[in-house]
Structure 1
Amino acid sequence: MPKNSHGCIEDYRFEDRDASDDLLSDRGFLEAFGSACTLLGVCLSQRPIEKEASRARSAIRSVDVARDWPLGGSDALALAADLIACGAEEDERTLDLEFQRLFRGTGMRAAAPFGSVYTDRDQVMYGWTWMELRAWMRMHGIECASRENEPEDQIGRMLLLCAALASRDSALIPEFLGRHLMPWAPRFFELFLGDMRTSTFKGLGVLAQATLDDACALLGIVPARFRLYR
């Protein structure tokens, strides 16, 4: 992606390419990253009343997040653990209503879960970064199945793509994170966490952000800089 293409100010880069390559061949890191992204991706892409989402949520609640979650800074993990524990009494109906508001647009929300809403001047779904993501996926033979009719740059689906790359083609992780996800994800999480009405989803948001931030730091990835319009 050339500099100044569309809204790209500066492309992603490596702080230490050799160290990144070494970590991308570390099976332990890839399994940990993939497992974390799978659980979070399911929770942020599927309705809480669905069996797979319920299982993923239960799996996260069964972990001592502050101590045993594989990625993330200690302060962020402690906060996520507290929030998830506080949300243990939130029932599925409450969580489902919150999911519908946050991810399906059935109520007021501050944070759209689609990347191109942030990167496109018109703040639309299916914008230029979505088109570039689709082209990149086709070029590398990547598929991301979904039962929902929504763009691939939905935050939960992007986490599931991280998991797929960790298990199938880890060499593509830096480009995916640096060019397609992390230029806009921090802004999404900033708005998402400020708009939260349930402890469970706030905890999941903190955990997802901590996981992605730590993965980038460990891989030495400096994400591309895009103009953001939201």
Structure 2
Amino acid sequence: MTLLNTTIPRIIGACFYYPPYSNSFSQLTGALSELADLFPWPQPALIRQHAEQISQVDLALLDYDYSVLFEGQGEMPAPPWSSVYLEQDNLLMGESTQRYREFLLSNGVVTDTENPEPDDQFGLMLMAFAYLLESDKSQAAIELLSQYILPWAGRYLQLVSQYDSGQRFYPLLAQIADIYLQTLQQQLDLNEKPTDLYL
């Protein structure tokens, strides 16, 4: 198990991006039960417990949660785009999104998806992190993590973990993602960029 393997950000990123009814999502759900064995977690027993609870969730019932958390059905309790947290007016596609897009382009990353999703969607950002690692651009991956994900992800994941619909899939996944990011930050000795958050 290595700290900078790409399996964890690929799995978690995809689960925070793809809808539960998609083939991409269903292909990954089996891997969720293996999370504890795929990364040097500081608390593997806790990850194993969370993963076991996730595996007991009826995935057929997740469509509503996905719609609320990622598509904006009703009041969105945890918007998944960094600009909502980093821009004072909480709008999508602000200056922070443009800076991030320029960073991606400068490192040869193009987020070409079926959905017209802003580049700064949390799941997409984790998958971009994995892509940079796979492309032997570890310095760019670390920059993405420290400059573009860590400043707002803790707040976002906190909001997701507080979401309660009776299905615990996304709140538990958010707790796992938060532990993952905190572990990377500590083990890589990353200084989080001081940032004002507006949500």
TM (norm. structure 1) is 0.79
Q: May I ask how many residue pairs the two structures share in their alignment?
A: 197
1:82 maps onto 2:82 in alignment: no
1:60 maps onto 2:32 in alignment: yes
Query: Which residue of structure 2 aligns with residue 224 of structure 1?
Result: 193
| Gapped regions of structure 2 (runs ≥ 5) | none
Shift of 1:71: 4.2
1:135 maps onto 2:102 in alignment: yes
Query: Which residue of structure 2 aligns with residue 213 of structure 1?
Result: 182
TM (norm. structure 2) is 0.91
Partner of 1:226, secondary structure, is coil
Partner of 2:7, secondary structure, is helix
The code of the aligned residue for 1:203 comes to: L
> Which structure: larger Rg?
1
Question: In percent, how many aligned pairs have the same letter?
Answer: 24
The code of the aligned residue for 2:20 comes to: P
**Aligned pairs for 1:145-156 within 5 A:** 145-156=112-123
**Aligned pairs for 1:1-230 within 5 A:** 28-30=2-4, 32=5, 34-61=6-33, 63=34, 65=36, 68-74=37-43, 77-168=44-135, 169-197=137-165, 198-230=167-199
Query: Which residue of structure 2 aligns with residue 18 of structure 1?
Result: none
> CA contact under 8 A between 2:154 and 2:178: conserved in structure 1?
yes
The code of the aligned residue for 2:194 comes to: R
Shift of 1:64: 6.1
CA distance in 2 between partners of 1:80 and 1:208 (Å) = 10
Residues 89-127 of structure 1 deviation map (CA, whole Å, 9 limit, x = unaligned): 432331121111111111333211000000001001101
CA distance in 1 between partners of 2:117 and 2:51 (Å) = 27
RMSD of aligned Cα (Å):
1.8
Q: Which structure carries more relative contact order (alpha carbon 8 Å, separation 6+)?
A: 1
